[in-house]
């Protein structure tokens, strides 16, 4: 471990909190035994301390010692090196061939780096010393009797064989293993994961398995190259090369452990190694934090601490890595006492047993939690634990699934031997759904090892109490293992079996939801064709919310109305789980750790017409519109032409609103579990394999194996002679081809794995047969839910602040099916046992990859911590003052986040339905409509005229805000524009309906109300009213009405430079340019037609785009909230646009490049990003299509009101607090925005890290870095300017004085010249010619502020012309 800079990774670090590579794959291989027993030889065991043992010598030496001391020594191999050498481990303890409870496990590992050889030899001496002095020296005898010691002299025997004696600097090739891998950089790292192929590091894999199979308490990893004891952590998130102290939860304890070794080493404790390669290097007290010394990712000591229950430090024993053999005796003498004293520290802290209250049986894998310390450990298979702690007083809790936690206060730990602390945990038994309390105790002040009998009291929800007597436990007795014959309470079975009509089912569900409110919650996901509620009962210990880390599961039944067994079984299951929660351990465990959604009937209409006794009929199968719901979902291979049914839509929305992981769809008519895929590209009957085919087979068998009749495979012989399903499962398409099925849609479009379960040959059996179906399927229903707790799960979080990252992608190598994280960053991924390469990635984060090994009996925890691209490596906060937030601001930020994640926006869409009668409105009706809005909603609307068209029609602008007409520079301002092309009036109607929705819901819908209160919305429904009057309905491609009355395409008339303009701007263009030059807009959205795509600037050809990422992102936000646009399949055959457009977004010039566009003008001169949305292929579709177009665009339009609140916002002030107006805010060195009144600014940016520069005359330039999120409100910053006291590098006072003197002289000279000239010429009385103004010579910004009409618009005001005479003029003209 020492200064090997060439071995320190230089690539950017990825972060992840990791687990063991798992051992299932390695352990289950038939050719690799778990340990390899040896037959000892009879070699002489007298030690000479004058030579190194090569592999053969060491093997013989260890075998000889094991044979000579069989009562205290056992030699085994935990695996093999790359070149096939055994990784020998000597176990030294009393009775070494059996596991005796009460003895902590300790280990030493040496020679990890093959050329650091002193450790290898010294550990052989430790083995010899302990064995030869046992029985003769009391200290050694006690240590061996009370400790389970494991010693591995060489972890890298291949490297040793290549090393050269006397090589002190490690110049040979022996450091790494035979695959040239540094074993101390190859363990899973908490920050970087691991990218090392397991096949190249068999030594590491063997040690990982060894660590996971045991409960080591303390460990030492022996190295060479200097003299110091190093402790965790070995690296940090920032991977600073040296000098960064990376502190663990047990930092003080690690410091103590390192001191134990160093202070017993005569040379190490001085802290001055005097190594020739680093003569000035010193270590205070001979110890160091690993990362502070130098950063080592992938080290073994950190892995032990984080994933192995074990505290490990690293000891560097000598300056020379491979010292001459003549120095071995001296080095042994220097290290002997340290080595022994360090082993003895395994007996400090607290230790004890955790037992079951009912019978005293041992409880394994119980978490031992020390208050104020986030590093927990777990009990071993005998229920024993050993928690190293420094002297002090602690609060310690034992926590186990299905048991009442037990907390002990005032646990006193003294120096020396460990304090004994036993726990007795009572199962969660006979308690109501809401009544579990944590039992607490106070530790007796005496050190009496016999714990007194303790009585615990638990209060249930009905205020009754139950008293349990906890059996007395002594420190001298070892707990027994839980017997499989232990008597347990029998679960309560459902009492009533009958067919439930819809009304009966509804009452049943309401009853159980009311009776068990703490675990059961009834909700609706929609309604059927005949308006019956589609009910779902969720059962969990916190049923109304998704708990972080808890998987979501669902059962759906009665999709075919006449297949009723599933409907009744799910009602039985609800009763069973509610009645047995708190008394039955299995039910309690499932409810406490799973959120279970149960939908008894997806097709209640069909059920009502089905008839009891129907064996294989079709009456009631379909819904009331006579559509088969299991052929009605979008299909990956075929287009489903039938209209989507309300039941289907409701279920699809439900599936996308909750992060379901596993599901089953219960049917009838056969007896088999059917798994994806249900169809294939050819539409023929053959095996159609999904990427997770093995997972589907596994979960399918989990159900069928618990149903003997189903598992038999010979089902429904009377109906389908010869039909056979091996193990009672089948691939769907292999059975028969089904396009549009629900299970495939689940898998392809969500995170959910779903199978279809056929429960019996008879679709609608007689009611008397229902108990039989429950008995056959009860165990299967429960076992299938258990499958949700397999595979891997974890959290993807931001490395900087630990917040969860939603919608991050989890991908598994060689499995072409990704899943995404939920809102708080948690995920679940079903996998069959095996070792996998798993990658977590997210937009604007560096991906992290790690290896994970999945076992068959539990879920593996794999957390990922991702680092933002270009973020501050030290995670430092921005400099300067930060704005404070009042509760109202925090609530609004929370609202923006809710609307940006999950189904928040979708719920807003559903909650803002308005009555409407869609039609196209001509100019006169449009004017009346917008006037009507101002008359009916005067407090939030203001109508203004921007100008008039060629034919003197008013171009209206409707402002919607809680203070319309007032300047509110701190609020973002959005502009919504339509009708620039008169032949595409869909956008006009969409904006009129959008305005009505906002006004009608203001004060009624809290979300709409808050959005209007916090946003200034300006809607321009028709820029080209003259063209609209000429356009013709149902003309999808006609250009009639495209231009204004002068025949000008207005979207080619926006020119900022006079040199580019041939003729004067059209009046419509002039009106919009004045509006755009207001320069207070944050975002603009223009609606057009003729395509199905969202475009972003520029329309100009060959125009570089400085902030293309942001512009493209804004367009993508609209597209992704449009049900069709984001798919990219435009299908616009009318205009030849048939290609696929990724995400439905493209740069405008790629669609149709042209000069003079409104969006380009908005970008260049209005400093406002504008996107253009083309709402459909047809320019002027029939009015009947308007409701559909509104439904498609409603969510996307609302998303723009949310998006305008993101990005970065702030205020610029000087040191006195005075706001600075007109300061330039430069974004990422390119795009510029300007501060408005009050010093406010707001700029939209794509998610990620951005650099902000603020510039103002007379002030020093300021810089900040901000992080923008895709789901959080704008990052708010305060920029405080300091006066710039230098001019041209000279003091301001000197420059000002010099300038004043110069100006005085200049004025005097000018006066003299003027007088002389005046005397000579009297031809011009006024004395001066007016200068001609050439607009071409002016700066664009200055010229534009003076061009156009001089309306008060530029001062944030509109001229209200709602009572103007142009309508009268227009009527006369007609």
For the residues of 786-802, what is the DSSP string, one character each?
HGGGSSEEEEEEETTT-
Both tokens of 1203, joined, read 């998006």
Alpha-carbon distance values, 309 to 204, 378, 728, 1254 (Å): 17, 7, 42, 51
For residues 804 and 825, the answer to whether their CB atoms sit within 8 Å is yes
Annotate 537-552 with b (16+ C-beta within 10 A) or e (fewer): bbbbbebeebbebbbb
Q: Which of 431, 575, 758, 993 is catalytic?
A: 758
Give 478's DSSP letter.
Answer: P
Output DSSP code: residue 547.
P
* Cβ contact 727:703 at 8 Å: no
Would you give the end-to-end CA distance of the chain in angstroms? 93
Q: Is 1319 left (phi over 0), alpha (psi -120 to 50) or beta?
A: alpha
Query: Strand 1231-1234 vs strand 1224-1227: parallel, antiparallel, or unpaired?
Result: antiparallel
Instruction: Please tell me which residue in 316, 552, 563, 951 is annotated as part of the active site.
Output: 316
C-alpha to C-alpha distance for 572 and 649, rounded to whole angstroms: 27
Structure tokens, 889: 């601001």
Q: Are 1089 and 1174 in contact (CB under 8 A)?
A: yes
* Residue 646: how many other CB atoms lie within 10 Å: 18
- Whether residue 1280 contacts residue 1213, with contact meaning beta carbons closer than 8 Å, is answered with yes
Query: Residue 314: helix, strand or coil by DSSP?
Result: strand
Backbone angles phi, psi at 997, to 5 degrees: -60, -45
Count CB atoms within 10 A of the CB of residue 468. Answer: 18
Do residues 73 and 92 lie in contact, with contact meaning Cβ atoms separated by under 8 Å?
Answer: yes
83 is catalytic: no
Rounded Cα–Cα distance for residues 819 and 752 (Å): 9
Backbone angle region of 1314, left / alpha / beta, with phi > 0 → left and psi within -120 to 50 → alpha: alpha
d(CA 385, CA 479): 13
Query: What does the alpha-carbon distance between residue 471 and residue 355 come to, in Å, rounded to a whole number?
Result: 10
Q: Do 1120 and 1065 form a contact (C-beta atoms < 8 A)? A: no
The DSSP call for residue 1022 is -
The two most distant CA atoms of the chain are separated, in Å, by 132
Look-up of token digits 């410091």: 255
DSSP class of 132: H
How far does Cα 312 stand from its chain's mean position?
31
- For 1329, residues 6+ apart whose C-beta sits below 8 A from its C-beta are none
Beta-bridge mates of residue 759: 671
- In the numeric block, the tokens 């929705």 are attached to 997
Distance CA 431, CA 65 (A): 58
* SS3 category, 965: coil
What does the alpha-carbon distance between residue 339 and residue 327 come to, in Å, rounded to a whole number? 18
Close Cβ partners of 1350 (under 8 Å, ≥ 6 residues apart): none
The Cα 384–Cα 309 span in angstroms is: 13
Rg (alpha carbons) of the chain, rounded to whole number: 38
Catalytic annotation on 485? no
In sequence order, what DSSP letters do the residues of 2-56 get, joined into one string?
A: -S-GGGS--SPP-B-------SHHHHH-TTS-SSEE-----------SSS---HH
The dihedral formed by the CA atoms of 1301, 1302, 1307 and 1308, expressed in degrees to the nearest 10: 70
Supply the residues annotated as catalytic.
Answer: 316, 758
């Amino acid at each position: 471990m020492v200064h090997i800079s060439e071995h320190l990774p230089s690539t950017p670090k990825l972060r992840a909190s990791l687990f063991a590579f798992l051992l299932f794959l390695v352990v289950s291989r038939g050719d690799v035994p778990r340990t390899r027993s040896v037959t000892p030889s009879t070699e002489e065991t007298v030690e000479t301390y004058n030579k190194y043992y090569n592999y053969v010598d060491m093997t013989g030496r260890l075998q000889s010692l094991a044979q000579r001391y069989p009562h205290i020594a056992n030699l085994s191999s935990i695996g093999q090196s790359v070149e096939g050498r055994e990784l020998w481990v000597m176990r030294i303890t009393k009775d070494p061939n059996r596991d005796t409870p009460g003895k902590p496990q300790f280990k030493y590992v040496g020679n990890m780096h093959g050329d650091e050889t002193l450790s290898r030899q010294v550990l052989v001496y430790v083995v010899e010393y302990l064995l030869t002095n046992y029985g003769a020296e009391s200290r050694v005898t006690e240590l061996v009797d009370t400790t389970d010691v494991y010693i591995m002299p060489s972890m890298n025997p291949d490297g040793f064989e290549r090393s050269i004696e006397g090589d002190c600097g490690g110049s040979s090739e022996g450091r790494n293993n035979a695959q040239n891998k540094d074993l101390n950089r190859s363990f899973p790292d908490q920050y970087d994961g691991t990218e090392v192929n397991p096949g190249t590091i068999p030594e590491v894999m063997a040690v990982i398995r060894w660590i996971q199979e045991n409960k080591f308490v303390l460990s030492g990893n022996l190295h060479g190259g200097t003299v110091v004891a190093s402790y965790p952590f070995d690296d940090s998130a920032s991977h600073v090369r040296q000098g960064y102290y990376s502190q663990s939860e047990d930092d003080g304890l690690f410091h103590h452990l390192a001191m134990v070794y160093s202070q017993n080493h005569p040379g190490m404790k001085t802290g001055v190694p005097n190594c020739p390669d680093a003569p000035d290097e010193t270590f205070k007290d001979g110890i160091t934090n690993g990362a502070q010394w130098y950063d080592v990712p992938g080290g073994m000591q950190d892995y032990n601490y984080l994933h192995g229950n074990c505290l490990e430090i690293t000891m560097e024993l000598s300056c020379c890595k491979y010292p001459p053999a003549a120095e071995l005796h001296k080095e042994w003498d220097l290290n002997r006492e340290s080595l022994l004293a360090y082993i003895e520290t395994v007996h400090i802290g607290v230790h004890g047993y955790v037992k079951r209250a009912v019978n005293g049986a041992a409880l394994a894998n119980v978490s031992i939690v020390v208050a104020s310390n986030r590093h927990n450990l777990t009990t071993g298979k005998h229920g024993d634990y050993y928690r190293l702690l420094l002297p002090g007083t602690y609060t310690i809790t034992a926590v186990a699934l299905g048991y009442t936690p037990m907390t002990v206060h005032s646990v006193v730990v003294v120096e020396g031997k460990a304090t004994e602390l036993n726990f007795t945990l009572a199962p969660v038994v006979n308690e109501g759904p809401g009544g579990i309390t944590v039992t607490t105790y106070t530790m007796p002040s005496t050190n009496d090892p016999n714990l007194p009998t303790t009585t615990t009291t638990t209060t249930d929800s009905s205020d009754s109490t139950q008293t349990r007597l906890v059996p007395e436990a002594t420190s001298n007795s070892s707990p027994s293992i839980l017997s499989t014959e232990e008597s347990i309470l029998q679960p309560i079975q459902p009492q009533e079996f009958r067919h439930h009509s819809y009304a009966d089912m509804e009452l049943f569900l309401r009853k159980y939801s009311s009776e068990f409110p703490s675990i059961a919650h009834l909700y609706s996901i929609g309604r059927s064709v005949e308006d019956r509620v589609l009910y779902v009962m969720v059962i969990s210990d916190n049923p109304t919310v998704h708990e972080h880390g808890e998987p979501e599961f669902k059962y759906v039944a009665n999709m075919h109305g006449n297949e009723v067994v599933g409907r009744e079984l799910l009602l039985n299951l609800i009763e069973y789980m509610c009645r047995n929660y708190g008394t039955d351990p299995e039910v309690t465990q499932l409810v406490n750790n799973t959120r279970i959604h149960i939908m008894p009937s997806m097709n209640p209409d069909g059920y009502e017409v089905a008839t009891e006794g129907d064996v294989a009929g079709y009456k009631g199968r379909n819904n009331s519109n006579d559509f088969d719901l299991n052929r009605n979902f979008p299909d990956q291979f075929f287009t489903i032409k039938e209209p989507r049914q309300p039941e289907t839509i409701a279920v699809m929305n439900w599936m996308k609103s909750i992060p379901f992981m596993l599901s089953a769809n219960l049917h009838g008519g056969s007896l088999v579990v059917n798994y994806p895929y249900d169809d294939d590209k050819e539409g023929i009957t053959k095996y159609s394999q999904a990427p997770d085919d093995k997972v589907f087979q596994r979960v399918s068998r989990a159900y069928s194996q618990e149903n003997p009749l189903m598992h038999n495979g010979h089902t429904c012989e009377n109906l389908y002679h010869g039909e056979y399903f091996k193990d009672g499962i089948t691939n769907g398409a292999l059975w028969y081809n089904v396009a549009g099925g629900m299970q495939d849609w689940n898998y392809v479009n969500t995170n959910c794995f779903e199978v279809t379960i056929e429960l019996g040959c008879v679709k609608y059996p007689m009611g008397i047969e229902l108990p039989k179906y429950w008995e056959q399927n009860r165990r299967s229903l429960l076992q299938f839910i258990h499958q949700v707790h397999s595979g891997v799960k974890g959290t993807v979080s931001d490395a900087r602040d630990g917040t969860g990252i939603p919608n991050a992608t989890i991908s598994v190598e060689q499995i072409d099916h990704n899943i995404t994280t939920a809102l708080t960053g948690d995920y679940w991924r079903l996998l069959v046992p095996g070792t996998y390469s798993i990658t977590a990635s997210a937009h604007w984060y560096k991906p992290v990859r790690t290896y994970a090994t999945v076992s068959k009996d539990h879920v593996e925890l794999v957390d990922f911590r991702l680092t933002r691209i270009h973020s501050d490596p030290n995670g430092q906060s921005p400099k300067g003052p930060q704005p404070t937030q009042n509760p109202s601001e925090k609530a609004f930020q929370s609202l923006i986040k809710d609307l940006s994640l999950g189904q928040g926006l979708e719920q807003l869409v559903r909650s803002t339905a308005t009555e409407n009668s869609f039609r196209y409105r001509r100019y006169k009706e449009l004017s009346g409509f917008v006037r009507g809005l101002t008359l009916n909603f005067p407090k939030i609307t203001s109508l203004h005229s921007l100008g008039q068209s060629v034919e003197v029609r008013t171009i209206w602008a409707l402002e919607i805000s809680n203070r319309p007409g007032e300047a509110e520079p701190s609020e973002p301002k959005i502009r919504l524009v339509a009708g620039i092309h008169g032949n595409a009036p869909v956008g006009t109607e969409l904006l009129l309906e959008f305005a009505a929705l906002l006004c009608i819901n203001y004060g009624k819908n809290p979300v709409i109300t808050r959005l209007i209160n916090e946003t200034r919305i300006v809607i321009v429904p028709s820029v080209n009213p003259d063209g609209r009057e000429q356009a013709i309905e149902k003309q999808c491609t006609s250009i009639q009405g495209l231009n204004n009355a002068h025949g000008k395409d207005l979207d080619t008339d926006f020119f900022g430079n006079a040199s580019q303009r041939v003729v004067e701007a059209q009046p419509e263009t002039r009106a919009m340019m004045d509006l755009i030059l207001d320069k207070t807009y944050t975002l603009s959205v223009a609606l057009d037609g003729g395509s199905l795509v969202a475009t972003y600037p520029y329309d100009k050809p060959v125009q570089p785009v400085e902030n293309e990422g942001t512009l493209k992102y804004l367009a993508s936000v609209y597209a992704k909230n449009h049900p069709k646009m984001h798919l990219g399949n435009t299908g616009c055959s009318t205009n030849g646009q048939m290609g696929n457009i990724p995400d439905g977004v493209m740069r405008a010039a790629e669609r149709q490049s042209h000069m003079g566009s409104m969006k380009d003008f908005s970008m260049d001169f209005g400093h406002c990003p504008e996107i253009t949305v083309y709402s459909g292929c047809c320019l002027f579709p029939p009015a009947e299509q308007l409701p559909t177009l509104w439904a498609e665009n409603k969510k996307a339009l609302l998303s723009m009101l949310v998006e305008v609140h993101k990005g970065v916002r702030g205020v610029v002030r000087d040191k006195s607090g005075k706001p600075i107006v007109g300061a330039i805010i430069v974004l990422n060195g390119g795009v510029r925005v300007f501060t408005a009144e009050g010093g406010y600014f707001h700029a939209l940016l794509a998610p990620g890290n951005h650099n902000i520069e603020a510039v103002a005359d007379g002030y020093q330039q300021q810089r900040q870095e901000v992080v923008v999120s895709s789901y959080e409100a704008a990052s708010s910053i305060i920029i405080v300017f300091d006066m710039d006291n230098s001019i041209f590098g000279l003091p301001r006072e000197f420059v000002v004085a010099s300038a004043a003197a110069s100006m005085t002289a200049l004025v005097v000279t000018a006066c003299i010249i003027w007088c002389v000239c005046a005397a000579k010429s009297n031809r011009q009385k006024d004395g001066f010619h007016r200068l001609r103004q050439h607009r071409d010579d002016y700066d664009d910004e200055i010229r534009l502020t003076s061009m156009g009409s001089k309306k008060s618009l530029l001062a944030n005001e509109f001229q209200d012309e709602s009572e103007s005479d142009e309508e009268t003029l227009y009527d006369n003209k007609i």
